[in-house]
Structure 1
Amino acid sequence: MSWNLRLRSARAPDPLVTLRLQVRLGELAAELRRVEEDPAVYARAHHWLAVQGAYDGLLREACRLAGLPTVTAPLRAGDHAAAGERLREELELSSRGWSW
């Protein structure tokens, strides 16, 4: 592999990986809205926390893929990002053309 190819691949993430992340973020965001809007969801708080944790983890992964700094260490199962940090990450990704 030539030096230019390695350098180029280190800068530009695989577009299919990026797309897969965006699609999954969209699915999780829709699931969060569904849980918030439906008071009849069984174990609603638990379900919401689980989906929010998955969303936060994928958001962090998207930031790493886009080359954005993250303030805290990678999230572990059950960890959640602060709302302000989540918003900052979403805005940074949106400003770089990400959508979900």
Structure 2
Amino acid sequence: MTWQLAMFLGLSVASMLAVAVGLLCAIVRTRLRRRAERRRKAAGDPIDTLTLQLRLGEIAREIQALAGSRGFAVAHHTRAAQAAYDALLAEACRRAGLPVEAPHLVTDRTPEAERLREELELASRGWSW
């Protein structure tokens, strides 16, 4: 009878250890998966980054086209395009990990020097548009 009790206790301990190891492996796997997801989110989706670069290029070309235009409400369209460009530029800076300066409170526009700094910083990190 004592060998049966010893065998039962040994099997019970072994099965509890197996369950504990299984739970520990599941916890480690979950934490590693979450860490990998956080890294992927922090790095950003490359397709979203490429889309942002393409949109920046489109708006930059639109601003250049408006500069030579003499049509109706050109100033209004230029201001709207410049505001969109500044917003996309700020988003690109955030994705690249650059500090973004808030627009001026009076004019709600980004100064030319800040825009140039952001463009140069992005270009130095390999961004192109």
TM-score by length of 2: 0.68
Question: Which of structures 1 and 2 has the larger relative contact order (alpha carbons within 8 angstroms, sep 6+)?
Answer: 1
Residue 78 of structure 2: aligned partner: 48
- Kindly indicate whether residue 39 of structure 2 is the aligned counterpart of residue 8 of structure 1: yes
Q: Within 1, Cα distance between the matches of 2:47 and 2:41? A: 15
1:10 CA displacement: 3.8
- Bigger helix share: 2
Question: Which consecutive residues of structure 2, in runs of 5 or more, have no partner in the other structure?
Answer: 1-29
Equivalents in 2 of 1:49, 1:20: separation in Å?
22
Q: 2:124 corresponds to which letter in structure 1?
A: S
Gaps of 5+ in 1: none
Match of 2:99 in 1: 69
1:13/1:66 contact within 8 Å kept:
no
Identity %: 51
Residue by residue, what CA displacement relative to the aligned partner does 1:8-64 show, whole Å, maximum 9, x if unpaired?
Answer: 21431110110010000000000000000122x210111100000000000001111
* Residue identity in the other structure for 2:61: A
Q: Output the CA distance in 2 between the equivalents of 1:10 and 1:27.
A: 26
Quick check: which has more Rg, 1 or 2?
Answer: 2
Q: Provide the aligned C-alpha RMSD in A.
A: 1.9
| Aligned positions, number | 96
Aligned to 1:17: 48
Q: Normalising by the residue count of structure 1, what TM-score does the alignment of the two structures yield?
A: 0.86
> SS of the residue aligned with 1:72?
coil
Q: Which amino acid aligns with 1:44?
A: V
